[in-house]
Structure 1
Amino acid sequence: MYSIQQLAKLAGTTQRTLRYYDAIGLLVPLRDDNGYRRYAKHDVDRLQTVLFYRSLDFSLDAIKHLLEADSFDRAQTLEHQVTALREKAAYFDMLADTAETTLTSLKGGIPMKEKELFNGLSFDELKAHEAKHETEVQDRWGDSEAYHTSFERANQRSKDDWETLSQEQMNLVKPLVDLFRADVPIEDERVQAVVKTNHQFIHTNFYDCSLDMFSGLGHMYVMDERFTMFYDKYATGLAVYYNDAIQHYCIKNS
């Protein structure tokens, strides 16, 4: 067991931070007979998970929702965090190289090529980085045939087609937001009807989405910060709620 002073020193954080995490229910330790906080091994593990998420710019509210989700799995979470942290490190290494090259050029009076000024900063490179990540996601959660089907359909669509699909997707999210805000249980037939409609939308417009793949997508909504942010911009905790609803749907229909 650790005291608050010992854990703060071990984790390189402050006692004030740990007290705040306790106050908001993010990291609640046991109390001894004198009322002092005592942190067990599972508290230490939870703090590590919290700090990893903080390093990936997750809000404390979003982290709390993720950790309290029925679908939370520490091993899966760590796998995703390793990938996300390595990608973030690689991206910032590229930016640091550009900054260092710029500094060397400035001090030495050697002009840089205009294109070199924006290594890692251009829209095309950001999109390429995102596309690489999307491919890895498809490789992990989907079979190759489904991925190629999605790729072929994507190439056949115009800008107007994508705008229409985007609007349709937003329209599908709205009823889910209303149900979430009304605290409707994920097992409720209204929630499950929305999940079914979303499943059919993916199946019709992107690829043959099996229940296993749909379950994988649900996990991705809470394991990948970009997907979490997409849903949580409508309501904090929506990504976790949607994932839990998807998992229930997949189990029920398997």
Structure 2
Amino acid sequence: MYSIQQLASLAGTTTRTLRHYDAIGLLVASRDVNGYRRYSSSDAERLQLILLYRTLDVPLDQIEELLDSTTFNRIDVLSGHIEALRQKAAYFAQLAETAEATLTSLKGGIPMDDKSLFNGLSYEEIQAHEAKHQDEVQERWGDSTAYKTAQERASTRSKEDWERINQMQLDLIAPLVDLFRSQVAIEDDRVQSIVKDNHLFIDTHFYDCSLDMFSGLGQMYVADERFTEFYDRFEPGLAAYYNEAIQYYCIANS
């Protein structure tokens, strides 16, 4: 059996998130004689699936319906996730290389020319990546409002627009790295201001990002090792720090 702290550490999430899942009936803990939450191996397996679904922006109420369905099969669900995640691995590995090279440059190492800043983020590369996964994206999110909004906004952008937006994304990471290195608490107004800016950035440039969806993005940063690696290339532990800051923001503003 796991305590709530042990399971949160094992899954790379927060105890606040587990308490929320317990409260809404998505991941209900048992209680010991002292009233403390306890989780079994089966609970850990269920949490893994919850976090996987959250990486795909599936709302919590729909996740509960899927997991509690009489036709639910864990093997089939995991098999469906594996191929999609593997297909994205190469793309995010390239983004990680770009982030690492950028950080080296910022630290006074090997200078990067302006074009190198956008390796994996250029208009042509993004277009190629999206085309490769268009069928998968359409199947999973084609009927969602977020997908339709993102598509409408993307259709009006030029190459210059995309590269400007991608540079904005990189610029949003830099102050978060500084605060993390200074061990500033996630509740600090400076951290929460950056999280708010990131939330607004997604909401403005991509799709109407609800707090529930934003929370899911944060979970993705620690649930998928490729996303974790991307942020941790800036500073080890940044992904977990950013996720906790996002979860705090979402709860505080709900």
Q: TM-score, normalised by structure 2?
A: 0.52
**Partner residue in 2 for 1:76:** 47
Equivalent pair of 1:218/1:243 in contact (CA under 8 Å): yes
Identity %: 50
Match of 2:66 in 1: none
Read off the aligned partner of 1:76 and give its amino acid letter.
Answer: L
Q: Determine the structure 1 residue equivalent to 2:182.
A: 182
User: Partner amino acid for 2:144?
Assistant: S
How well do the aligned residues superpose, as a CA RMSD in angstroms?
Answer: 3.6
Between 1 and 2, higher relative CO (CA 8 Å, sep ≥ 6) is seen in: 2
Correspondence for 1:85 among 41, 63, 82: 82
| One-letter amino acid of the counterpart of residue 149, structure 2 | T
Deviation per CA, 1:148-176: give whole Å up to 9, x if none: 11111112111111110011111111011
Describe the SS at the equivalent of 2:184. Answer: coil
Residue equivalent to 2:251 = 251
Q: How does 1:1-254 map to 2 (within 5 A)?
A: 67-70=11-14, 71=17, 74=44, 75-78=46-49, 80=52, 82=78, 83-87=80-84, 128-132=131-135, 134=137, 138=141, 144-254=144-254
Given the superposition, is the C-alpha separation of residues 243 and 131 from structure 1 closer, same or farther in structure 2, using an over 3 Å criterion?
farther
The alpha-carbon distance between structure 1 residues 223 and 66, as it changes in their structure 2 partners (threshold 3 A), is: same
What are the superposed Cα offsets for residues 93-147 of structure 1, whole Å, 9 maximum, x if unpaired?
Answer: xxxxxxxxxxxxxxxxxxxxxxxxxxxxxx99865554455557757xxx81122
SS at match of 1:241: helix
Residue 13 of structure 2 contacts residue 244 of structure 2 at CA under 8 Å; is this kept in 1? yes
Q: SS where residue 173 of structure 1 aligns?
A: helix
Q: Helix, strand or coil for the counterpart of 1:183?
A: coil
Partner of 1:184: helix, strand, or coil?
coil
Alpha carbons of structure 1 residues 145 and 229: separation in structure 2 relative to 1, 3 Å:
same
The residue identity in structure 2 corresponding to 1:174 is A
Aligned residue pair count: 162
Contact 2:11/2:223, CA 8 A, preserved across alignment: no
Question: Comparing 199-208 with 228-237, which one deviates more in the overlay?
Answer: 228-237
- Contact 2:13–2:219, Cα closer than 8 Å, also in 1: no
Q: Return 5+ residue gaps in structure 1 as ranges.
A: 1-40, 50-63, 92-122
Q: Distance in 1 between matches of 2:149 and 2:205?
A: 10
Is contact 1:180–1:238 with CA below 8 Å preserved after alignment?
Answer: yes
Q: Secondary structure at the match of 1:154?
A: helix
Structure 2 CA distance, aligned partners of 1:208 and 1:89? 27
